Amino acid sequence: MNAIPKFTAADFASDQEVRWCPGCGDYSILKSVQRTLAEIGARRENTVCISGIGCSSRFPYYVETYGYHTIHGRAPAIATGVKLANPELDVWIVTGDGDGLSIGGNHMLHLLRRNLDCQVLLFNNEIYGLTKGQYSPTSRSGKHSPSTPFGSVDRPLNPCAFALGAGARFIARSYDLAQSKTPEILARAHAHRGTSFVEIYQNCIVYNDGAFEKFAGKKAAPDSQLWLESGKPMLFAGGNKGLRLNRETWALEVVALDGQTPEAAGILVHDETNNVIAKLLIDMPVGNFPVALGVIYCNPAPAFDGAVAEQNRQVAAGKKRDLNALLRKGDTWSVEGEVFEAHA
């Protein structure tokens, strides 16, 4: 066997000093990504991290791969050019709720519908951090911030619902501190051909501390997190509770098993390819329901970059690349001293 160089997470750490606030959730996500890259056997030179603007978008500087820190919201568009120019590159887009869903919402929509083969890591901290704390499109209604001193009256966007609506074929969720689970999800995202959309809840310790405490806090976690696994019943709270589909209202409901088997209790089995159930899982309101985490939806379809390359190949096949001939195609005439000849 050829000796494939074994990389560790440390090999994917760049020499740049990380400049996020102490205690920022981004540190844990960075670690998870570096671990994932090592575990999936990524090649440094073949990996490209592309970001926009915001705290999350500083990410490429800290990863020892190729990286492009672009402009606000435009990472998906830059990534599209990179991937169409060289489909062999493994492209990771790193963005946030403001970058990816506000100023760059249009690009995100079209990236997802086209299904470019890349990973999108959307760090959702429900706030604008780098610009010092304004509310974001995912901030909850009533959010007090410097730009909404009396509370926001906007209705928030649900990133995964947006992705599903845009036609995403891979949707997953995790949160910053779930370091034991995130690498596995990222590995799945990487393996998926097409745009893999991963929302990662991320705590902003300065401007929105505790935003996800309700389900990410140590005490709340077991009862409020539903980690989805394909083919497995949707159980949480240590297996004591599960989700069932009420077939009259077409709504999910939480069921206590009370010693019953999941089958007997009518607990749903996770089918990653079912986008109706995916929508219900994504929309579950925190509090009454657990938060759906893990791979929510995975239903592969042809990737855009592959389709473009394939059409380029097919149309070009058998045609000569002779530009001089192309210039002379069609109706021409020649002038040679006194001789004039039309070639229509």
Stretch that binds other proteins, among 11-19, 30-38, 119-127, 150-158 (CB under 8 A): 11-19
Nearest distance from C-beta of residue 308 to other proteins, angstroms: 7
Q: Any contact of residue 15 with other proteins (CB under 8 A)?
A: yes
Residue bearing tokens 């995916």: 278
107 vs 173 by CB, closer to other proteins: 107
26 vs 272 by CB, closer to other proteins: 26
Distance CA 117, CA 306 (A): 8
Q: Which of residues 311-330 bind other proteins (CB under 8 A)?
A: 311-312, 315-316, 319-321, 323-324, 326-328, 330
Among candidate residues 184, 186, 198, 209, the one with its CA nearest the CA of residue 122: 198
Nearest distance from C-beta of residue 25 to other proteins, angstroms: 22
Distance CA 316, CA 321 (A): 9
Q: Any contact of residue 8 with other proteins (CB under 8 A)?
A: no
Q: Any contact of residue 64 with other proteins (CB under 8 A)?
A: yes
Q: Any contact of residue 6 with other proteins (CB under 8 A)?
A: no
The residue from 31, 69, 140, 244 that contacts other proteins (CB under 8 A) is 69
* Footprint of other proteins (CB under 8 A): 14-16, 44-46, 48, 50, 53, 60-61, 64-72, 74, 76-86, 88-89, 106-107, 109-110, 308, 311-312, 315-316, 319-321, 323-324, 326-328, 330-337, 340, 342, 344
